[in-house]
Amino acid sequence: MQDTAGIYEFVGIGEMAETLTHMLSLNLKQGGLSGGRQRADLGRVEQLVLQQARDYLSKVREGFMLSVRATQVTHPRELRYLLERVLTDWSQLSQELGLDTGAPGEEAGARRAGVGLGMPTADHVLHVERVRYQLLAFGMAAVAMGYLPRLPAQQITFPHSYSDPPTYADIPVPSTPGEMLWRIEELEQMLWRLMSADMQELVQRQYGPLRRTYGFFEASAWLSQQEAERFGIKSQRRHVALF
C-alpha cells in the first residue's frame, strides 16, 4: 500500500510540474504579445498551482535537511552557509518525528508506552509517513536537477530560449550540499516573485533564475511522465484554461 501511494505521489508531483510549466508558458507568451503591459491579478487556478508548487518545494527542502550530512561538506565556508540555513534547530524536527520524549521523568513512561520504539501509535505512524514523502520529494528534485542539462530539445518549451535547438546544457548540476540548497532557495524565491511580478520584467531582470525554475519543473514533468508509463500508470495530461 505504501509503495503504491508513493508512486501516485510521484505522478502527482509530475502533473503539478506539467501544469505549472503550461501556466508559465502561457503567461510568458501573453506578456510578449501585450507589449510588456502589467498583467492582471492571478486567478484562482494560477494561485492554486503556485501554492502546490511551493508546498512541494517545502517538502524538497525538508527532505534535503533530513539527507544532508556534515561529512559531505568539504569547505568551511559552505558548512557555515548550511549551518546558518539548515542545521539550526533539530529539537523541533525531533518533536515532529515523535522522537522528543520530553522531560527525563517522562522518558521511562514513553518507552513503556512504546513511543520511539517502533510501536504503532497513530501519531508516530503519521510522522514517519510524512518524512517518507519529504525524502521522495527531495530525491525527485535532485534527479530533475541532474537531468535538466540533458533534457531533449523537443521537450524544451521555454518561450525565450535563444539557442537553436533549445537546450538547458549550460545550467550546471548542483555538486555539493551548498549548491543544492542554493538552487532550492532560488526556486522558492522565484515562485514568490511569480505571485506578483510582471512576467516581462522577470524575463529582463531575472532571466537566469526564471529559466532555471521553468526548466526544473519541465524536467520534473517529463521524468515523471516517463516513469509513470514505465510503471503502467497513465498520467492524465492537464490542459487547463488559465485565462
> What per-residue confidence (pLDDT) applies to 222?
93
56 vs 42: CA distance, rounded Å: 20
165 vs 153: CA distance, rounded Å: 6
Burial label, 77 (beta-carbon count in 10 A; 0-12, 13-18, 19+): exposed
Whether 183 contacts 174, CB under 8 Å = yes
> What per-residue confidence (pLDDT) applies to 135?
86
168 vs 161: CA distance, rounded Å: 9
Number of C-alpha atoms within 13 angstroms, CB side, residue 138? 19
142 vs 59: CA distance, rounded Å: 12
- Domain boundaries defined on the chain: 2-230
Burial label, 1 (beta-carbon count in 10 A; 0-12, 13-18, 19+): exposed
All cell numbers assigned to 91 = 529539537
193 vs 77: CA distance, rounded Å: 28
All cell numbers assigned to 27 = 503567461
> What per-residue confidence (pLDDT) applies to 31?
63
Neighbours of 66 (CB within 10 A): 13
8-state DSSP, 41? P
Task: Flag whether the pTM goes above 0.85.
Answer: no
Number of C-alpha atoms within 13 angstroms, CB side, residue 78? 16
> For each of the chain's 243 residues, which pLDDT tens digit applies?
455 666 778 888 999 999 999 999 988 887 654 544 445 456 788 889 999 999 999 999 988 887 876 556 667 776 676 666 665 445 555 565 555 555 444 444 444 444 444 444 555 444 444 557 888 899 999 999 999 999 999 999 999 988 889 999 999 999 988 899 999 999 999 999 998 778 888 999 999 999 999 999 999 999 988 877 766 665 545 444 443
**Type of residue found at 188:** E
> What per-residue confidence (pLDDT) applies to 1?
46
120 vs 190: CA distance, rounded Å: 40
All cell numbers assigned to 14 = 509530475
> What per-residue confidence (pLDDT) applies to 221?
94
Residue with cell 484562482: 44
